[in-house]
Every structure is written in C-alpha cells, then in structure tokens.
Amino acid sequence: MDKKATLKLPDGGNIDFPVLSGSVGPDVVDIRALYGKTGVFTYDPGFLSTASCASTITYIDGDQGVLLYRGYPIEQLAVHCDFLEVCYLLLKGELPNQKQKDEFVSMVTNHTMVHDQINRFFTGFRRDAHPMAVLVGVVGALSAFYHDSLDISDQRHREVAAFRLIAKLPTLVAMAYKYNMGQPFVYPRNELSYTANFMRMMFAVPAEDYRTNEVLVRALDRIFILHADHEQNASTSTVRLSGSSGANPFACIAAGIACLWGPAHGGANEAALQMLDHIGDVSKIGEFIKQVKDKNSGVKLMGFGHRVYKNYDPRAKLMRETCYEVLEELGLNNDRLFKLAMALEKIALEDDYFVSRKLYPNVDFYSGIVQRALGIPVSMFTCIFALARTVGWIAQWNEMIVDPDQKIGRPRQLYKGATRRDVLPIDKR
C-alpha cells in the first residue's frame, strides 16, 4: 500500500502527500505539490530535514557510522581498490573489471596535461595568493580552454569533461603549489599512477627528481578515496545548484571549489592540526578539555563532531590506520602530534560531555597529521580535498543532468522585510 502523510491545515482542512521510500534510509514526504494545493511553503534553512534530490551514488547512516559508495562500504573500497577504480565506480555505478579499468586509466592518463596557455594564466596571480583562490580561478577558466566539451546535453561532451577534470585537477593543484613556492611547474609523467604522478608534480624539482614511495602513495590515494564523495554536502549541493541552470561543468566544479574553501567545510583538518599544536603536550589535555566543556570559552575540539555522523566517522578509523603506517614508514613513530591526537581521542571518548552528545572523531582529526607527514603544507589541504572530491561532484552533476525530475534549483523564502511603501523625495527622508 502506498504510504502517505497527512498535513492538517490552519483552516481545518487536511491534505495528503505521498511518502517515498528509498532503497535504504529514512522515507521522505513528497511536498512538491504543497504550494500549489495550499499556498504555503516549508521553511528549512540549512536543509535540516529536506532532501534536495534523489540519488543512487552515496549513502550515509550517521547513527551507525556507515558510508557506502554505490552500495560498497568505504572500509572495503579503501583496502581493496585504488582511487581510479573508485572514480569509475562513482561515475558508472559498478566497479571495473581489469579491461574496463585499463581503458579508464588510459583515458584519464591521456588528459593529464593542461593547455600551455594555462601556464600564463597562473602567472597573472600574486605568488602569495592562497592556492584555493588560484584553483577556483583556474578551474573556472578551463571552460575558456576546452570549448569542445561544453555541450551538457551531449553525453560524449559530458564524458570528456569528466575525464579532463579528473585528470587535470592534480596537475592544476600541483601547479598552484609550485607557483606559490616559486618553483618551476613539473609536467605530468604518464607512466606513473594517478597519485604517484601527483606527488611527483608536487615534489620534484629540476635539480632533483622525486622518488615515489609506495607506502606514501598508497596513503595519499586513500585520502583521495575517503574524500571522493559524501552525498549532498554543501559543495556538492553547490555544484548541483550551479548545474541546474545549465552552466558548463568546469564552471560548476569551480563553484564547488569555492564552497569547499569555507572553514566549516573543507578547512577543519587545518584547524585540527593547529589545535594539536596549540595544546602542545599530553600533560595539557586535561586543561584543554576543561576549556572545550566551558560553553563560554568558544573553544571546540576540532576534528570532533559531525552534522550527520553521530557515531565514529568510518573514515576517521581508516585515517588513523593510515597515519600510523605513514609515520612508521618515515620513522616518525614518536610524532608528537600523533601521540597527542591519540591521547586526546582516548580521553574524549571516555568523557561524558562527548559521549552524551555523540561526538566522535571525524575524518579531519587525523588527515592533517598524515598530510603534514607527506610534506603537504597546511595551505594545500583544502586543494587536496578539492582534487579528491572532483569525481564526486561530477558524478552528482551527471546524475542531475539526466534526472527526469531535474528543474532549475530555486528555493523559496519567508519574507520578513518591509511591506510596500513609497519612495520619498531625498529632502524628506
């Protein structure tokens, strides 16, 4: 039997709305007809209770700490797959077999270089610009360079744009870093894997090539996998909203990067690292926790808590494991911040303040330590996130384009401003 929800109207009437069920997760009340039938809107700033679309890509159960890409648990993907397999999965819905993987890798690899004039585009920026400021500009500018993949109604154009974005983001992120450092750009080397190639473009210099280390490459690859998609978060919703007007994919991804830049979204790993630095020593944890619990202090335990996860963020567990492997490989087992992070986590997980509020470590608690150990400076952390999330943004954008229910995104409002009034002559105001 079809489920329905009944809304009691202020004038006494009742109206029924269909209730839709997904394959898993909470039902949704389909209120699309609400305004037409009743003349009222719903009010939900921050989308606390509103599904903005139907999707088949990523599923999160925040209470259980579950994250699935196309049905596969993140824990299995992080262990058994590499990032490009995960990209294939997110874009196409299934994991590739060997032949499909080889073809996909070859397509991505063939697009790693950027148009030579993009080099000159970079030089228009100040060297001390934040790399995210540069990335927003350069990715947006790709639509000025690749005119042959801008027709969003053409499936082939969309596919080529996807390959271009996934392939060129590492090149552009590395260029943003090199420009900031005052070092020459390093061109991609296509015999390397996606992630090894990125690390080389980041860290090689003309005077000295960069030798890739498999443990470190695997760690960064895992960071990419863990950040590849996270359903309808702020930046993904931004990409969808931008795309809903028919904007081209490069412009939409630039919009997603702009949204990701905000400290409430992509910037938390940097804040977690700064917090650990500020605490400084295990002996200071008690005092710090006291401050966190004091509501007037304004101090938060960064890297803890999440709007959706009310359990251990599954990505945080994987990141802690990776952190351990990387530090061991680099002979940094006694890393001060890692030890501090583990001690802080242990104390917080036993403290009633955090337990009662269901505050657990999120992915950002350990990812800053891993990236720092890999030699990635703090100012680049959000660029790394953007690189990894690009595939999720594209998969979601593609899904939206072919969705028969897709409409231009146009939220309503609760107007609380002045009602109609007349303009007075300037001497009477």
Clarify whether 364 is annotated catalytic. yes
CB of 389 to ligand ACO, least distance (A): 10
Nearer to ligand ACO by C-beta: 83 or 104?
Answer: 83
User: To 10 degrees, the CA torsion angle through 84, 85, 88, 94?
Assistant: -170
Q: Which residues contact 405 (CB under 8 A, 6 or more apart)?
A: 53, 54
Nearer to ligand ACO by C-beta: 108 or 384?
Answer: 384
Active-site option among 82, 227, 306, 313: 306
Question: Which DSSP letter does residue 425 get?
Answer: P
Nearer to ligand ACO by C-beta: 11 or 352?
Answer: 352
Gyration radius of the chain's alpha carbons:
24
CB of 379 to ligand ACO, least distance (A): 18
Q: How many angstroms separate the CA atoms of 223 and 362, rounded?
A: 13
What angle (nearest 5°) sits at the alpha carbon of residue 375, between those of residues 301 and 216? 95
Give the chain's end-to-end CA distance (angstroms, integer): 63
Nearer to ligand ACO by C-beta: 65 or 249?
Answer: 65
CB of 226 to ligand ACO, least distance (A): 10
Clarify whether 157 is annotated catalytic. no
Residue 68 parent element (H or E): strand 66-69
CA distances 418 to 44, 45, 209, 421, Å, are: 22, 21, 65, 8
Active-site option among 364, 405, 422, 427: 364
Q: Three-class SS of residue 18? A: strand
For strands 66-69 and 72-73, give the pairing. antiparallel
Q: What is the residue type of 383?
A: C
Q: Which residue is nearest to ligand ACO (CB)?
A: 305
CB of 45 to ligand ACO, least distance (A): 13
Binding site for ligand ACO (CB under 6 A): 265, 268, 292, 300-307, 357, 359, 362-364
Q: Are 174 and 198 in contact (CB under 8 A)?
A: yes
The sheet with strand 72-73 has its strands ordered as: 58-61, 66-69, 72-73
CB atoms within 10 A of CB 315: 27
CB of 175 to ligand ACO, least distance (A): 25
CB of 200 to ligand ACO, least distance (A): 27
For strands 58-61 and 66-69, give the pairing. antiparallel
Nearer to ligand ACO by C-beta: 88 or 304?
Answer: 304
Nearer to ligand ACO by C-beta: 303 or 392?
Answer: 303
What are the catalytic residues?
A: 306, 364
